[in-house]
Structure 1
Amino acid sequence: MIRDLHRRHFILTASMAAAMGIYAPGIGAQTTARAAPKAAKSAVILVLGDSLSAEYGLPRGSGWVALLEKQLAADKISASVVNASVSGETTSGGRSRIAALLQQHQPTHVVIELGGNDALRGLPLQNTQDNLTFMTQAAQKAGAKVLLVGMQVPPNYGTDYANRFAALFETVAKAQKAAVVPFFLKGVADGADPTRMFQPDRIHPKAEAHPLMLANVWPELKKMLR
C-alpha cells in the first residue's frame, strides 16, 4: 500500500514537472527544442528621385540605380532595389507619394534624391527643406534608414541662393540624424569642362557620368547596409 502511494506520488510529480518544463533529477527530463535562429532579412532599398535617377535620356540599365544593383551583387550584399524615381519630380511630389511607397515596399533603407527641380523652378528654399524633413521623418518612423543625396545649382542663380540651397541637405540630415551625400554630381558638374559629361540639354548627365554618381553615393550607402 505504501509502495503504491509512493508510486502514485512519483507519477504525479513527474507529470507536474513535465507540464512546467522542469528538469528534476530522478523524476524525468523535459527536453526543450531550441528555436532555430531567424534568417537575416534582406535589405530593401527604396530610391525616391527625379530624372537623375530615372534614367532620363539613357539606355535602360545604364543609370546609377541599375549600376547600384550590380554593385550589391558584386559585393555579395543581400538587398533588392526599388526605383520609384520620376522625371520632373519635386520634393512636394515626393512628399505626396512617400507614404504609399513605404507601405507598399516596406524598405529598410530610403535614398532621397530630390530637390534639383525645386531649385530649377525657383521654389522657396524653406518649402524644400520642410519637404525633405517630412520625407526623412516618415521613412524613419517606418523603420528605414535614410540617405539624403544633395545637389547644387550653378552660380547664375545667385551666390546666396546657391549656397543656402547646397547647405539645406546637410542641415536636414544633421537635424534628423540621417546620412547625406553633399553633392550628387561631384566629379561630373564641377570639372574643367562641365558640359562634357552632359546630354545636349546640359541638365541630364550622359551614361558615362553615372558610374561617378554611384561612386558618390555608394560609400555612404554601404556603411548603412553593414
Structure 2
Amino acid sequence: MAEAPPPRGDGVYGPKFPGKPLSMVILGDSSAAGYGVHRPRETPGALLATGVSRRLRRPVRLHRLAVVGSMSSGLPYQVDAALEYEPEVAVILVGGNDVTHVSGRATAVRHLADSVRRLRSIGCKVVVGTCPDIGAIQPIKPPLRWLARRWSRQLAAAQTVAVVEAGGRSVSIGDLLGPAFEADPVRMFSSDRFHPSVEGYARAAAVMMPTLMAMLGEDDRAPATGADGVRSLPEAAHEAARAAGTEVSAVKVDGRERGPAGRWAQLRRHPWFGEPRLWFGHRAASFGGSPVPSVSGRSAAGAVGWTPADHQAAAD
C-alpha cells in the first residue's frame, strides 16, 4: 500500500568497489523519502547512490534524512542531523507541501537557501530538485489545478534563484510526470494517485543524475548549445520552471559573475528517462556473483543495484 512508510535505504552502495565511501545525504519531503514504494532500492536516494557508485566505481554511504510531509521549514532540522555525517554531497527535494499547505513562499525559499549555505559552508556539494508541478496531479481538478500549477512554478523559480545564489545547483522537476500520467497513470503514480510510483521516482532521479555527476567531476556532457546557454539568473529560473529536467548553475561571463540583470547562470536541459543517455546503466557491475540487471531505458528495476538490505538477505 502507498500509505505504508517508505523504506529507508540507508547504508553503503557499491561495497565491492575500493576506496573510502562517499558520504551522501538526501533531504526534503516525501518525494525525497520515496513515499509509495516498497523496497529500499526503489527510493530516490538508493537510485542516486547506486548511479553515483557505478559511475565513480566507488562505494557510497547514504543517509536518508528526508521526512514524509515535511515543508521547507523542516529543512533546518534535517541539516542539523546531516552535518553530523560530514556529507560530501547532498540532494534536496522539497516544495510540494509548501504549495499544498499554502505556506509563505518567501519563508520557504529562505529556509531552503539557508540550508544550502550551511551545507556549502563545510564543502558539501548540493543539488536541489525544485518544486514539482502540483497542477499535473490528476486528482486535483480545475480551477484549483490551475492555481496549483501557477504556485508551483513561482516557487520553483524562486527556489532556483535562491539555490544558485547560495552556491548549489538546481534541477527543475516541474510536470515531469504529467504527460506520462495521462498515457499510463498506473505505471507512473502509486496507488494514491498523488505520489510517484517506482517508475516515477526513477524518471525524477534520471534527470538529476547528470547534475550530480557533474558536481562530482564526472561531466562528460557536450558543451551547451542552442536552447541551452547563458542567461541572467532570474531569466534562467523562469525558463527552468517551465521546462522539467533543466539544470541551472552559476557561471562567469568574461570573468564576471554578474551582469546588468544580476548573476549569470548556465541552463542545461537533461534527457528524460527513456531517452538515449542512460546514466544508471553505465559501467554496470555485479555484486556477490549476481549480475545487476541492465537498464532498458524504461524499467526502474534495471536502473538500480542491490541495496545493503539486499546483500543481507542474500547472505541469510
TM-score normalised to structure 2 length: 0.54
Query: What's the CA shift for 1:41?
Result: 5.6
Cα distance between partner residues in 1 of 2:21 and 2:174: 26
Give the 3 Å change call, closer, same or farther, for CA 71–184 of structure 1 in structure 2. Answer: farther
Larger Rg: 1
**Pick from 76, 80, 84: which aligns with 2:61?**
80
Post-superposition Cα deviations, 1:10-60, rounded to whole Å, max 9, x if no partner, equal xxxxxxxxxxxxxxxxxxxxxxxxxxxxx9764211110211122222112
Cα distance between partner residues in 2 of 1:141 and 1:43: 18
Q: Is the 1:184–1:216 Cα contact (8 Å) retained in structure 2?
A: no
User: Which structure dedicates a bigger proportion of its chain to strand?
Assistant: 2
The answer for the alignment partner of 2:288 in structure 1 is none
Q: Is the 1:184–1:217 Cα contact (8 Å) retained in structure 2?
A: no
Give the 3 Å change call, closer, same or farther, for CA 190–125 of structure 1 in structure 2. Answer: farther
The answer for the alignment partner of 2:35 in structure 1 is 56
Aligned-partner SS, 1:66: helix
Residue 81 of structure 2 corresponds to residue 100 of structure 1: yes
The CA RMSD over aligned residues, in Å, is: 2.3
Mean CA deviation greater in 41-50 or 158-167: 158-167
**Pick from 14, 20, 24: which aligns with 1:45?**
24
How many percent identity over aligned positions?
Answer: 24
The answer for the alignment partner of 1:34 in structure 2 is none
Give the 3 Å change call, closer, same or farther, for CA 49–190 of structure 1 in structure 2. Answer: farther
Query: What's the CA shift for 1:124?
Result: 0.9
Query: What's the CA shift for 1:119?
Result: 0.9
**Pick from 127, 147, 166: which aligns with 1:147?**
127
Post-superposition Cα deviations, 1:96-121, rounded to whole Å, max 9, x if no partner, equal 3312321x101011111111111110
Q: Is the 2:33–2:44 Cα contact (8 Å) retained in structure 1?
A: no
AA of the residue aligned to 2:86 = Q
User: Which structure dedicates a bigger proportion of its chain to helix?
Assistant: 1
Cα distance between partner residues in 2 of 1:209 and 1:60: 14
Q: Which runs of 5+ in 1 are unaligned?
A: 1-38
Q: Is the 2:134–2:148 Cα contact (8 Å) retained in structure 1?
A: no
AA of the residue aligned to 2:171 = V
AA of the residue aligned to 1:91 = S
Give the 3 Å change call, closer, same or farther, for CA 64–158 of structure 1 in structure 2. Answer: closer
Question: What is the aligned residue count?
Answer: 186
Q: Which runs of 5+ in 2 are unaligned?
A: 1-17, 136-144, 218-316
Cα distance between partner residues in 2 of 1:132 and 1:222: 22
Cα distance between partner residues in 1 of 2:171 and 2:181: 22
Post-superposition Cα deviations, 1:55-107, rounded to whole Å, max 9, x if no partner, equal 222112212221223223322134322111111111111123312321x1010
**Pick from 110, 119, 122: which aligns with 2:90?**
110
Cα distance between partner residues in 2 of 1:177 and 1:98: 16
Cα distance between partner residues in 2 of 1:67 and 1:117: 23
Residue 174 of structure 2 corresponds to residue 191 of structure 1: no
Cα distance between partner residues in 1 of 2:150 and 2:202: 31
